[in-house]
Amino acid sequence: MKTINQIQTKPSSRYDSFDPDQEGNKNTIFADIIIDDRSLYQMLKKYDRVPSLGWGSEEHQRKMINYFLLNEMHEYLYYRYPILVCPWCGDEECGFISVFIEREEDLIIWRDFKLESGNKTIDIGPFCFKWDEYEKVIKETFGTAGIQ
C-alpha cells in the first residue's frame, strides 16, 4: 500500500523581507508546493530554483497546469515535467529540476526527481496524492503571482 501524501500550495517568494540576498536579485513570487506541511521550495532551495507554478504569462501558467494534470505531454521530456525552474526567467535552458509524473487510477505519483541538464538524481520522494485533491490544488495555482 502506498503512503498518501497531502498537497497544498501557498503564495511564497524567493526572499523574505529581511533577507540581504534579495538586494539586486529578482524576488520571484510563485505557488510553493507544500507536501505534508513541508515546502518543496525549501527542501530543494540549495539548487536555487523556484516552483514552476503560479507565475509567468497566462499561456505559461496554463501550460504548467496542463503538464501537472497530465493533459499535455512535455515536448521533449515526455512524462517528466519541470517542477522547479530558473527564478529569473523560468526558462528550461537555464537549468531546472524535473519530476516523473504518472497516474494510477485515482492516484498521482511524483518520483525520480532530477537536476537537469546533468540528469543528476535528487534523493527526494516519491510522493503519492489523491487525484481529486491534487487536481483542485494544481488548478488553484493559476494567477498566484498574477499574470506577468
Where does 69-130 have alpha helices with state H?
Answer: none
Mean pLDDT calculated for residue range 17-40: 82
Name the grid cell of 17.
523581507
Q: How many CB atoms sit inside 10 A of residue 110's CB?
A: 24
Mean pLDDT, all residues of the chain: 91
Q: What is the DSSP string of 50-75?
A: EESSS-S-HHHHHHHHHHHTTSS-BT
Residue 98, phi-psi category: left (phi > 0), alpha (psi -120 to 50), beta (remainder): beta
Reported confidence tier of residue 146, pLDDT bands at 50, 70, 90: confident
Note the pLDDT of residue 22. Answer: 60
14-28 tens-digit pLDDT: 766 666 666 666 778
**So what's the pLDDT on residue 91?**
87
Please give the single-letter amino acid code of residue 53. L
Q: Which pLDDT does position 2 carry in this prediction?
A: 79
